[in-house]
Amino acid sequence: MSTSDPQPGKEKPHLLRKASNQKMALKEKIVQIYEAFFQGEDPSYGNPNFWDELFLLKVNTTFLETEIEKLNGEGLVNMKDNFNLLFFRATECLKQENPIRVVNAMQTLCALVRGIFRKSHGSCGFDVINLLVGFDSAETVMQTLVECLNAFLTGDHPSGLKLLTLKFLLILITATDNVSQNTLLEYVMMNSVFEAVVQILGHPTQRQLLGHDAALVLTLLVQYRKYESANPYVVKLSILDDELALTGYAQVISVLLADFNREYEKQSTEVHTGGWFSALASMVGNMFVPEERQIELVRAKDSLLLALYEAIHLNRNFITALTHSHTPSTPATPPSSPSPPSSPGADPTSNPKEPPPLTLETASASHPTSLLVTFLQYSSIVIQDTKDSIRYNNAKLCFIILTCISEDQYANSLMHDANMTFRVPLHRMPMRHRKAKVEISPPLRPLVCSLLDLMVEFVMSHMMKTFPMELYLRGLGIIHRVLCYQKKLRVRIQYPWKELWTALINLLKFLLSHETQLAKKHNVFHLCSKIVNVFNLFITYGDTFLPNPNSYDELYYEIIRMHQTFGNLYSMALRYTTTESEHKDSAARLTNHLVNVRAIINHFTPKVDSWAAAHQQSSLTEEQVLEVVRGNYDTLTLKLQDSLDQFERYTEKPKEVPFFTNLVRSIICDVRKSVSNLSTQHQELLQELSTIS
């Protein structure tokens, strides 16, 4: 029995060497055939039914792959004909009705692709095609193959087969580290599986089981030479207008992100339920354990984030799906048996995504949510810790996605829609002066409020020595974009702007106090200019988007109150303009940008002082200052600055290419790992499935 099990490949020859007949007899028939195969024979010779019979046998993928692994370069080339034959026969077999043969043939194909690509790692892709399929017949065979795959995905087949098909596609796609070098994909470009994948995403029940893999297939196919040539998947995804499919796509991502959020919540509550002291005590000890766990989780979501990014970046219609509110599938409280987030396909029952007949209890308990809500919550978790480069990249991708969203007018209009309110539970990092907290039941607000909250939170929580400059720039860019939208469309949202002002001024303070270290590494003046320009937007265009006149007064009050910070900023900038340095121009620009702020300070400070003197008060209350401010607007003249409401549109192509190339590479490796495990594990299950059907 034990011998019939696929043993680790290395032990096989050992068994053989013993040369015991008994052992030989116990050897799987398929292994015998494989062996014959690898000796260069054609076992089918003279046996017309051979292939039909072969694919009825349970595939031993491990054996196949290890045998291929053992071959040297020359052996590999010698085996070409047999590989081609096997590949061809397996493909032919896919056309058959019998599900067992189909599954076995598919497994054979998986093993072949995996084995041969692993072997030819780094070598040119064309060789692989020749080894696998053979140049002569490659086109037709691959066309047949893709047609069969499409048929499996779209037809009325057991979902196990569909899953296996997707896994096979993933194996195909992740065959090389660099997806663009995988020339085999050229055939998948020519024969599109896009429609089939979209159909799965649009199907309300199929996407529960297959959605993750389908989205992954789509995302990775989009990556194939997307900067070099016209990738049909990029085109098709960008013009996809099937609302159901888009909504399904969004829900697949949403559910998986929600799983992550739930998992995180569960962990953080576990830590905190231990009590104050135990929490404190275990803090040092646990420093790394939960950290690693979380990193693992984050990594698992990289591919999802990329899927989300591609959808938002490429497809305009996806914005609707992004904010398409739906009632959450699973209750907000963590389920008793949370599903491992990495294998969403494994538990179709535990996360029914859209149960149409919601029971009234859950219906009343759960609040409508949307992908954007989930994503904002996810981002609030991810940005908490950006020290690790993986998490940093993850946070960066989040910010890029948010940039894309905040740049889209339609997305903005949805986010600002006062009728479309959501509860977004944002997570806040525990800091010295505050506990980590999540609002259990945050107020219902338009989404843009949560977005701004998230940015404020980021600004407040990342003033650290390893200053995440890029993230700060992106964060300010997001704020800027939102403000520009509000200014242009005169949208007045009820938002406590004061929090934003305070956070930005605090950031300025931090930059000033760490000027010496930071200025060496980063162009702090650029960042400061961005901050000051946000203030300038408020000062000169506040009438178009501030909720009420009082908030305008408060803005002045804040500036006057923090006049010292602005003063220091100005003098610092001035200092850099006088000395010769790389930041000289930026510093000069900053001084220009500060003109209105300084005008306000210079105008009101004496007024406030004289008022205090007149009323013989050393310190004034806020109300008193506001009174002074209100009384002295008319004598203040401000300068209108150019292009305050201009921003550089996000483009992926020149700047972000390395980031995404690396990201895709790491995702490919992850996915490859996951499919190599899964296929063997699932084999038996799948065979059962197929025999039942």
Partner 1 sequence: MASEMRVKCQLHDIQVHKAAVHHHHDSARECLDDPEGRGKFEVNGNYAFNPELGESPSETVAGAVECSCDHGSEKMEELVTALANGLPEKMIGAEKAHVTFSLKEDEEEVVSDDGTAADCESSAHRLPAIAEAVKSRGRGGGHCPRSREAMKAMVHNQVIYEQPTSPHAHLLERSMSYSTVEAQISKDLLKQMQTSLFLNQTDKDTSQGQSHDPPHPSQNAETEANDTDVVAGSVTDSDDKSQTETEDRSQTEGEKTESESEQNDASKSSEEDAPADPSQRASVPKRALCLPRPFRFKDRKSKDSEKVTDKPPLGPSAGRGGKGKVPPPRQSWLLRLFESKLFDMSIAISYLFNSKEPGVQTYLGNRMFSFSEMETDFYLPQLLNMYIHMHDVAEAVHPYLLHRCRNSVEFSVNAAWILDAFSSDCLKPNWKNSQGVKLKNLILNEELRPMPAPKVMMSLHSPTGPSPLLSSSPPSAKKTHHRSRSEATAYTDSMLLETMPEAPRPRKKKSELSGSLGRLDRLFMKHSESTSALTNSSCTAAGDLASGRAFDSGCKCMQSSEALINSLTGRQTPCQCNAPRLQPEVEFVQALMNIGSKLQHLPTKELRTSRLIAELAMLNLNLPARVWLPVAEDYTHHVVRIPHTQAVVLNSKEKAPYMMYVEILQCENPLTSTLPSKMLDNTLRFTRSEEDLTHFNHLNHRANGSPRPEFSVYGNGHEFDDADCWSQEDDEIMSLALRCRSSDTISQISTESSTSADSKDPVYIAAGDIRRRLSENISAPKKKFERDPEDPSAAALKEPWGDKVERIRETSPYGHLPNWALLSVIVKCGDDLRQELMVYQVLKQLQTIWAIEHVPLWIRPYKIVVTTNDSGMIEPVLNAVSLHQIKKQSKLSLMDYFVHEFGPSNSEEFLTAQKNFVQSCAGYCLVCYLMQVKDRHNGNILLDAEGHIIHIDFGFILSTSPGKNLGFENSPFKLTSEFVEVMGGQGSDMFEYFKILMLQGFVASRKHSDKIMPLVEIMQTGSQLPCFSKGVSTVRGLKDRFHMNLTEEQLQLLVDNLVESSLHSLTTKLYDGFQYFTNGIL
Site for partner 1 in 267-306 (CB under 8 A): none
For position 600 contacting partner 1 by CB under 8 A, the verdict is yes
**CA pair distance 565, 16, nearest whole angstrom:** 80
Smallest gap from residue 411 Cβ to partner 1 (A): 9
Closest to partner 1 by CB, 544 or 565? 544
Q: Specify whether the CB–CB gap between 232 and 198 falls below 8 A.
A: no
> 159, 327, 343, 568: which one contacts partner 1 (CB under 8 A)?
327
Type of residue found at 324: H
> 99, 125, 202, 211: which one contacts partner 1 (CB under 8 A)?
202
DSSP code for 16? H
Residues 547-566 that bind partner 1 (CB under 8 A): 547-549, 552-553
Question: How would you write 506-543 as a 3-class SS string?
Answer: HHHHHHHHCHHHHHHHCCHHHHHHHHHHHHHHHHHHHH
**CA pair distance 584, 385, nearest whole angstrom:** 33
Smallest gap from residue 609 Cβ to partner 1 (A): 19
* Residues that contact partner 1, how many (by CB under 8 A): 78
- Three-state DSSP class for residue 489: helix
For position 375 contacting partner 1 by CB under 8 A, the verdict is no
Smallest gap from residue 460 Cβ to partner 1 (A): 27
Smallest gap from residue 662 Cβ to partner 1 (A): 19
The string over 564-573, giving b where at least 16 C-beta atoms fall within 10 Å of a residue's C-beta and e elsewhere, is ebbbbbbebb
Smallest gap from residue 626 Cβ to partner 1 (A): 12
Residues 429-458 that bind partner 1 (CB under 8 A): 444
Closest to partner 1 by CB, 627 or 652? 652
- Long-range contacts formed by 4-13: CB under 8 A, 24+ apart: 4/28, 6/60, 6/61, 6/62, 6/63, 6/680, 8/62, 8/66, 9/62, 9/63, 9/65, 9/66, 9/67, 9/69, 9/70, 10/66, 12/63, 12/66
- Residue 668, burial from CB neighbour count under 10 angstroms (0-12, 13-18, 19+): buried
> 430, 442, 496, 542: which one contacts partner 1 (CB under 8 A)?
542
For position 230 contacting partner 1 by CB under 8 A, the verdict is yes
Closest to partner 1 by CB, 258 or 644? 644
Smallest gap from residue 488 Cβ to partner 1 (A): 5
**CA pair distance 544, 451, nearest whole angstrom:** 20
Smallest gap from residue 157 Cβ to partner 1 (A): 18
Smallest gap from residue 674 Cβ to partner 1 (A): 28
Q: Specify whether the CB–CB gap between 359 and 456 falls below 8 A.
A: no
Element (H, E) at 446: strand 445-446
CA 542, 544, 548, 553: dihedral to nearest 10 degrees?
20
Q: What angle do CA 435, 439, 440 make, to 5 degrees?
A: 125
For position 253 contacting partner 1 by CB under 8 A, the verdict is no
Stretch that binds partner 1, among 181-189, 280-288, 403-411, 572-580 (CB under 8 A): 403-411
Q: Specify whether the CB–CB gap between 497 and 546 falls below 8 A.
A: yes
Q: Specify whether the CB–CB gap between 115 and 164 falls below 8 A.
A: no
Smallest gap from residue 631 Cβ to partner 1 (A): 10
> 89, 118, 225, 326: which one contacts partner 1 (CB under 8 A)?
326
Smallest gap from residue 163 Cβ to partner 1 (A): 21
Closest to partner 1 by CB, 319 or 455? 319
Closest to partner 1 by CB, 61 or 247? 247
Stretch that binds partner 1, among 61-69, 209-217, 240-248, 294-302 (CB under 8 A): 240-248
Closest to partner 1 by CB, 159 or 320? 320
For position 219 contacting partner 1 by CB under 8 A, the verdict is no
**CA pair distance 610, 624, nearest whole angstrom:** 12
Stretch that binds partner 1, among 83-91, 268-276, 355-363, 615-623 (CB under 8 A): 355-363
Residue 146: HSE in the Cβ half-sphere, 13 Å Cα cutoff: 21
Closest to partner 1 by CB, 351 or 690? 351
Residues 103-162 that bind partner 1 (CB under 8 A): none
For position 42 contacting partner 1 by CB under 8 A, the verdict is no
Q: What angle do CA 69, 167, 685 make, to 5 degrees?
A: 95
> 26, 418, 431, 436: which one contacts partner 1 (CB under 8 A)?
418
Residues 626-665 that bind partner 1 (CB under 8 A): 630, 633-645, 649-653
Closest to partner 1 by CB, 424 or 675? 424
Stretch that binds partner 1, among 174-182, 301-309, 352-360, 451-459 (CB under 8 A): 352-360
For position 409 contacting partner 1 by CB under 8 A, the verdict is yes
Smallest gap from residue 612 Cβ to partner 1 (A): 21
CA distances from 405 to 227, 256, 479 (A): 22, 20, 12
Type of residue found at 261: N
Closest to partner 1 by CB, 16 or 365? 365
Smallest gap from residue 606 Cβ to partner 1 (A): 15
**CA pair distance 253, 308, nearest whole angstrom:** 7
> 134, 158, 204, 274: which one contacts partner 1 (CB under 8 A)?
204
Stretch that binds partner 1, among 43-51, 94-102, 214-222, 361-369 (CB under 8 A): 361-369
Residue in 199, 207, 152 with CA at minimum distance from that of residue 693: 152
Neighbours of 48 (CB within 10 A): 7
> 417, 499, 585, 670: which one contacts partner 1 (CB under 8 A)?
417
Q: Specify whether the CB–CB gap between 285 and 255 falls below 8 A.
A: no
DSSP code for 434? B
Smallest gap from residue 514 Cβ to partner 1 (A): 33
- Three-state DSSP class for residue 21: helix
Bridge partners of 369, per DSSP, are: 326
Smallest gap from residue 331 Cβ to partner 1 (A): 15
**CA pair distance 292, 49, nearest whole angstrom:** 53
DSSP string, 87-125: HHHHHHHHTSS-HHHHHHHHHHHHHHHHHHHHHTTTS-H
Smallest gap from residue 361 Cβ to partner 1 (A): 9
Q: Specify whether the CB–CB gap between 377 and 383 falls below 8 A.
A: no
Closest to partner 1 by CB, 65 or 408? 408
Residues 462-501 that bind partner 1 (CB under 8 A): 488-490
Residue in 487, 468, 466 with CA at minimum distance from that of residue 476: 468
Q: List the structure tokens of 639.
A: 């300068």
Stretch that binds partner 1, among 126-134, 464-472, 497-505, 537-545 (CB under 8 A): 537-545
Smallest gap from residue 253 Cβ to partner 1 (A): 17
Stretch that binds partner 1, among 7-15, 166-174, 284-292, 406-414 (CB under 8 A): 406-414
> 375, 392, 467, 541: which one contacts partner 1 (CB under 8 A)?
541
Residue in 111, 110, 181, 205 with CA at minimum distance from that of residue 149: 110
For position 544 contacting partner 1 by CB under 8 A, the verdict is yes
Smallest gap from residue 370 Cβ to partner 1 (A): 8
For position 367 contacting partner 1 by CB under 8 A, the verdict is yes
> 132, 173, 304, 319: which one contacts partner 1 (CB under 8 A)?
319
Closest to partner 1 by CB, 193 or 297? 193
